[in-house]
Amino acid sequence: MSSKEYLHIVTQDHIPVQKMRFGRVLIWGSAGIFFCLVFLQLLQQNGVADFKFSNWRPTLYAYGFWAICLCAAQVLMYGERGKRTLFVLPAVLFVISMVVFPLIFALGIAFSSWNLSSPDGRQFNGLDNVWEMWADPFYWNALKNMVWYILAIIPEYAIAFGLAILLNAQIRARKFFRVAFLMPLMLSPVAVSWMIGKSMLEIRFGPISRLARTLGWDNPSFFGSGEIARGMIMMMDAWTFIPFMMIMILAGLQAIPKELHEAAEVDGAPPWKRFWEITFPLMLPVSITAILIRIIFKLKLADIIINVTSGGPGGATDSVTSFIYREYRDRSNVGYGTFLAIVYLVIIVIFMTVLMKLADRWMKPRY
């Protein structure tokens, strides 16, 4: 979107000095209130004085007040330009306060041992968490599993592409098929893990086990061995997310001009060649976008694992998220869990940056 058209507005603003000053007072005044409250509450927390605060809510309210004042002051101080800022400012403030502050806070927790259920509270323990992570085979195992889970996107993509091509063909009842294919995406992963993982894959009388037995697998066990269990998790996850890629690819397919295919057909290209020489290259940008988004969602995979196998057997199905979740549930160690999460975040950011750079290069058409 490089050749984007912006709205060109010329406004004449005469901001009176008083208004300007009032705006500044509003911002700094409310910030002052906020900092005062933070100071008072810190005093109370360290036991210097008691102001009868039962929690940190007052600080939160002061922060909210400051945010509102900041927005209002934009209009007071900058007139029309301020009104334009007002479009983006609330969202920016919201995201910063919900992401940046907690992340900084998380960095603080990450280098400490903090068991929420123990009375000792938070204890700074330097690099202990690093050594613990280094020696934690289950964390590395979870990271290795994530690689498998991400590789599973390739067959998912192939299936989604195939279905999209079929849906793009001249067929009847297209709307029915589209709705039916979309359905798995609507379902809650928790419900899916019960519906499929716990009931349809039930060993004695789940319909899939029955089918497996008629097909000649005498004692079907879907979560007994590590590889099969991982495969099952992959399949369930694929089941819910194939529609997503399918819809994106279908949208891309329908944007390809028909003339290209007709021209190729007139030239006598066989269907297989038409696909590889026309459809696939033209779909490359859409495919890469779809795969990138799918990878982002895959990196968050946890719900199904937590509910179906809770990481078992022997950590074979653990994703990083489900591992940290159990780490917290079993040992309620916030410090170590946060450290693992931060390491995961760093890995993801590096991985995604490299991937996006590569994707950028691939998406450029080669002549």
Residues 157-216, interacting with other proteins (CB under 8 A): 163, 166-167, 169, 171, 175-196, 198-200, 202, 204-205, 207, 210
The footprint of other proteins on residues 33-62 (CB under 8 A) is 54-57, 60
The footprint of other proteins on residues 300-319 (CB under 8 A) is 300, 302-303, 306-307
- Minimum CB separation from other proteins for residue 244, in Å? 6
**Contact between 341 and other proteins (CB under 8 A)?**
yes
Class of residue 133 by CB neighbours under 10 A (exposed 0-12, middle 13-18, buried 19+): middle
Q: Which two tokens stand for residue 351?
A: 């991985």
Virtual torsion, Cα 75, 80, 84, 89, nearest 10 deg? -20
The footprint of other proteins on residues 61-100 (CB under 8 A) is 80, 83-88, 90-92, 94-95, 98-99
Virtual torsion, Cα 276, 281, 284, 286, nearest 10 deg? -90
69 or 341, CB closer to other proteins?
A: 341
102 or 314, CB closer to other proteins?
A: 102
**Contact between 262 and other proteins (CB under 8 A)?**
yes
Residue 333 carries which DSSP code?
Answer: B
Q: Residue 112: what are its φ and ψ, rounded to 5°?
A: -145, 165
Q: Long-range contacts: 269-277, Cβ < 8 Å, 24+?
A: 275/165
For the chain, count helices (H), then strands (E): 17, 2
Residues in the chain: 367
> What's the rounded Cα separation, in Å, for the pair 175 and 250?
13
**Contact between 352 and other proteins (CB under 8 A)?**
yes
> What's the rounded Cα separation, in Å, for the pair 151 and 162?
18
**Contact between 231 and other proteins (CB under 8 A)?**
no
The binder of other proteins chosen from 38, 40, 106, 269 (CB under 8 A): 106
- Minimum CB separation from other proteins for residue 102, in Å? 4
Q: Which two tokens stand for residue 235?
A: 């399949």
- Minimum CB separation from other proteins for residue 285, in Å? 8
**Contact between 358 and other proteins (CB under 8 A)?**
no
The binder of other proteins chosen from 36, 42, 103, 263 (CB under 8 A): 103
**Contact between 349 and other proteins (CB under 8 A)?**
yes
User: What are the DSSP E strand ranges found in 149-224?
Assistant: none
Q: Tell whether the torsion through CA atoms of 68, 70, 75 and 76 is positive or negative.
A: positive
73 or 334, CB closer to other proteins?
A: 334
> What's the rounded Cα separation, in Å, for the pair 106 and 159?
39
- Minimum CB separation from other proteins for residue 325, in Å? 7
> What's the rounded Cα separation, in Å, for the pair 97 and 147?
32
Closest CA to 26 of 82, 105, 80, 81: 82
102 or 126, CB closer to other proteins?
A: 102
Binding segment for other proteins (CB under 8 A), chosen from 5-13, 14-22, 127-135, 150-158, is 5-13
127 or 346, CB closer to other proteins?
A: 346
Neighbouring residues of 175: CB distance < 8 A, sequence distance ≥ 6:
none
**Contact between 17 and other proteins (CB under 8 A)?**
no
The binder of other proteins chosen from 44, 125, 141, 289 (CB under 8 A): 289
- Minimum CB separation from other proteins for residue 97, in Å? 9
17 or 176, CB closer to other proteins?
A: 176
Residue with tokens 């210097």: 48
Binding segment for other proteins (CB under 8 A), chosen from 20-28, 66-74, 123-131, 244-252, is 244-252
19 or 122, CB closer to other proteins?
A: 122
